[in-house]
Chain A
Amino acid sequence: MRASPDDLEIVERLRAGDEATFMDLVERLQPSMLRVARMYVATQAVAEECVQDAWLGVLQGIDRFEGRSSLRTWIFRILVNIAKTRGQREARSVPFASLEGERSDEPTVPAGSFILGGELAGHWSTLPQDWRGVPEDRLLAAETSGVVAAALEDLPAMQAAVIRMRDVLGMSSEEVRNALHLSETNQRVLLHRARARVRRALDDYVAAGKDAEEEP
């Protein structure tokens, strides 16, 4: 995926020394960059250092950006190189499995959601709610963003990185795979689990609203 016209314009402005463009880019990418760095290093403080170093690397390398990948992929690759090196140097490289933070066979909905045996095995035991019936103010972005933000904070590092890059930043699956060196399947499994947890948090929030309504 090559750089877009928007990407190229941002690069031109950075080369011309445009501060506002730089700070805008920082504000948009920093939260995701921190989560990605955190995949490779042991502490938040070291992750912050890696991100700082990555921005320096971006500026120092900006003249050499050729647009063969998107700007974001290029930035995240710089970051991953720095964070990986730092993690290895500190002999704290975190094993892949513990980055996942959970067993690979953990179900994405609570096991009790489905009927276990008999003719209806595998069917919903309680139907998922139709959120369209929920009062409008419950599902406004302002109300739910706290729920979503909290759910993202609880995610294991790799799930957090993938869902932030895909769903918060809107990067493509190809960009994320290239930046994080993940296979298509890996990337999709991480996204699947992360989304399932956020959905669950929103569902609990919606259900809590209904319970509150129904109280006398």
Chain B
Amino acid sequence: MQLDFHYYGTYCAAILAGWSHEDSLKICYSAQFVDCCSKALLARIKGPASAATTQLQVELMDQHTDLPGLQDMTRIWASFHFLPCDLYAEVRKWAPAPYRNKYRMICGPNGALVKETVELAKGGSLQAAGVAMHVLADTWAHRYFAGTPSLVINNTNYYFYELYGDAESGTWRQVRFRHGPSSSDDLEQGIYVSTVFRARENSIMNLGHGRAGHLPDYSFMRYRYLPAWGNYAEVLKDNPSDYYHAFCQMIYGLKYLRGAEETFEAERYDKEAAAPYEKKIMEILTVRRPDACADWKAFAEELSGCAVEDFDEKRYEQEYMTAESTAKEGTFLGSFIQAAAAQKSMVTAEIARSGNRLAGVPAIRKERRAEG
């Protein structure tokens, strides 16, 4: 997903869940900040690199794909952007262990880890709520891809068709992918930028949804393709519907975090809260354009009656950099860093507990080993 949904969409969900304008701003800022908190940013503000929640393209270009490098990447992407749906999924008979481990990293909504993610944020900071909402939302957009480099899981081929037009009268047309890093998507002609094909299993090009370009992050996109792990089964990805489900689930999750709901369960959505605005939301989600920030912002301000400031990545940097080292945890970014570390630790531990070493061994276990 993009800034329009992570920032403004989360703000709207928070308002509908009953949070105040100020708290909603902090939640949505944290949700969007997950896409910004790279090692480069943390180095700039002198924060801990282990709290990185994303990797920039330039960082990925320099990323080693040896075992420690792969584990480092998987820890970041699987924890924040491609939360595994089922770490104990059944695989076909005689599947080798490396394939089985990668298959179990496939992202999807309503898995056990989503519940743990939201419950982890309960009683925590607003930043933790924002991190949880980012992770929850991305399980819908990035479903069917894995947050670890894998050709056999994340590859796509020429069989890729998008629905051009509306759901009733649109036509299916084949998507054309190009690979120039400086190119941009041409939504009208159906030409999109994706990573180039690399036959090497652990190539960076095969990380996440790179082979499908930006298509999973466009809310208007409906497309069908053959996922590499699907054995020639076809997936129909309906982003408007998925995004709406994500929105309703965020409302429910944020109500739980506020205390208005007793438990957070999978497969539950607060459609009643969103129902009065469903038509408006679907209009925003289905318009064919690269960015819907303007419409989401207008909707957000209409909901809350307050001005919603634009996202500014550097808003809280000075506060963090000028704080004393003992006081950093109390700053906005300090709380975000703590929330990110907790989320990463939880997901890594769960992956390791399932017998999967793709994300390495969680830090807490290393400390226990060191102690004896």
Q: Tell whether A pairs with B.
A: no
| A contact set with B: CB distance below 8 Å | none
